[in-house]
Amino acid sequence: MKAKIKNAVSSKVNAIGLPIIALCFVCFFWGTTWIASKEGVKHMPALQLAAIRQFIGGSLYVCYFLFKKAPWPKGKQWKTILILSVLNFALSNGLSTWGVKYISSGLGAIINAIFPLWIVIITLFRGERLARLAVFGLIISFGGVCVIFYDHLNEIIKPNFTFGILLSIIATISWAFGSLYTKKKAASFNPYFSLGLQMVISSVLLFAITGATGTGVAVNLIPVNSWWAIAYLVIIGSVLSFIAFIYMLQRLPPEINSIYAYVNPIIAVLLGAMIFGEPLTIAIGIGGVVTLGGLYMVNYSMRKARL
């Protein structure tokens, strides 16, 4: 009897505890990947860093599932994987990594967090009606972004800063389209294997771009600091965090697992200030809170509309 009770308690703890641990892992460590990216791109081309990261991380996934003799995707599943490779990795991850070469890691993380706003805007252009709460959240988030950029008005005239902002915004738009496409077209296929294939395919595209433009550097010329950043991004960002991310998505309700989207920018801003001495002003603090509050309203409205 005691053994049955002990097993039942243990099962309940695993059912609740492990997904929460996975959520905490994603909340903190995905925030730290912005710091690693910022360190990595200081010493090498950003797209090459993203390509190496995705190739190594994706290869680890693919090799594992080849060893497990998992079935390969079939037919239209490949179309979905190819499109998501471009949207979620070649464009979104590649451009966001490139963006932090010119802007702070904290600012890059905050811009990345606003992708739900693009989902709302895309939905609006499709002719779908929006709930008042979503519209209100959209306005509040936009106001928060304006407050954040108040401190950067003197930097707007700098071409590199403007370019970094533009890259980061395009990255979030691409992620929004990728999220909508995943929801509409995602095949019943092993998500981890699919993730690995997307990474490998996107890395080939990014290697081709850096090769064609002559922007890559020889592997032996990449400094140790960048290799440490790549190792961290692969192990923590591309493997462990994604495993934890998919695990928590499958076991936690949306209103809980979406918390990571609000915590990641906070972690990135705080660590950026501590490690790189990036500015941590009142405008960034207030604007960040307002922006994330608006995003919460948008996400809450979208979840409510699905019920």
**Read out DSSP for the chain?**
-HHHHHHHHHHHHHHHHHHHHHHHHHHHHHHHHHHHHHHHTTSS-HHHHHHHHHHHHHHHHHHHHHHTTPPPP-THHHHHHHHHIIIIIIIIIHHHHHHTTTS-HHHHHHHHHTHHHHHHHHHHHTT----HHHHHHHHHHHHHHHHHHHTTGGGTTSHHHHHHHHHHHHHHHHHHHHHHHHHHH--SS-HHHHHHHHHHHHHHHHHHHHHHHT----GGGS-HHHHHHHHHIIIIIIIIHHHHHHHHHHHS-HHHHTTHHHHHHHHHHHHHHHHS-----HHHHHHHHHHHHHHHHHHHHHHHHH-
What is the total count of domains within the chain?
1
Looking at the domain assignment, is residue 7 inside a domain? Answer: no
Looking at the domain assignment, is residue 4 inside a domain? Answer: no
Q: Are 96 and 108 in contact (CB under 8 A)?
A: yes
Look at residue 92 and tell me whether its pLDDT is greater than 90: yes
Look at residue 185 and tell me whether its pLDDT is greater than 80: no
Looking at the domain assignment, is residue 10 inside a domain? Answer: no
| pLDDT, position 137 | 78
From CA 230, how far away is CA 224, in angstroms rounded? 10
Looking at the domain assignment, is residue 247 inside a domain? Answer: yes
**Structural domain harbouring 68:** 16-306
Cα 125 → chain centroid: 24
Task: Tell me the pLDDT of the chain averaged across its residues.
Answer: 83
Look at residue 300 and tell me whether its pLDDT is greater than 60: yes
The answer to which of 75-89, 174-188, 259-273, 275-289 has the lowest mean pLDDT is 174-188
The answer to which of 22-26, 41-45, 153-157 has the lowest mean pLDDT is 153-157
Looking at the domain assignment, is residue 254 inside a domain? Answer: yes
53, 96, 121, 141 from 173: Cα distances, Å: 22, 11, 10, 16
| pLDDT, position 13 | 44
From CA 62, how far away is CA 56, in angstroms rounded? 10
Looking at the domain assignment, is residue 5 inside a domain? Answer: no
Looking at the domain assignment, is residue 1 inside a domain? Answer: no
Calculate what percentage of the chain has a pLDDT beyond 90.
Answer: 34
| pLDDT, position 121 | 81
113-165 per-position pLDDT tens digit: 888 778 778 877 777 676 777 777 778 877 887 777 776 666 777 889 889 99
| pLDDT, position 95 | 96
From CA 108, how far away is CA 252, in angstroms rounded? 27
Q: Are 100 and 167 in contact (CB under 8 A)?
A: no
Look at residue 256 and tell me whether its pLDDT is greater than 90: no
Look at residue 3 and tell me whether its pLDDT is greater than 70: no
**Read out DSSP for 21-82?**
HHHHHHHHHHHHHHHHHHHHTTSS-HHHHHHHHHHHHHHHHHHHHHHTTPPPP-THHHHHHH
Confidence of residue 12 (pLDDT cuts 50, 70, 90): very low
Global pTM reads 0.83
Average pLDDT over residues 81-104: 93
Look at residue 50 and tell me whether its pLDDT is greater than 60: yes
Calculate what percentage of the chain has a pLDDT beyond 70.
Answer: 87
From CA 58, how far away is CA 198, in angstroms rounded? 7
Look at residue 14 and tell me whether its pLDDT is greater than 60: no
Looking at the domain assignment, is residue 57 inside a domain? Answer: yes
195-252 per-position pLDDT tens digit: 899 999 999 999 999 999 989 899 999 999 999 999 999 999 988 988 888 888 778 7
| pLDDT, position 8 | 45
| pLDDT, position 52 | 96
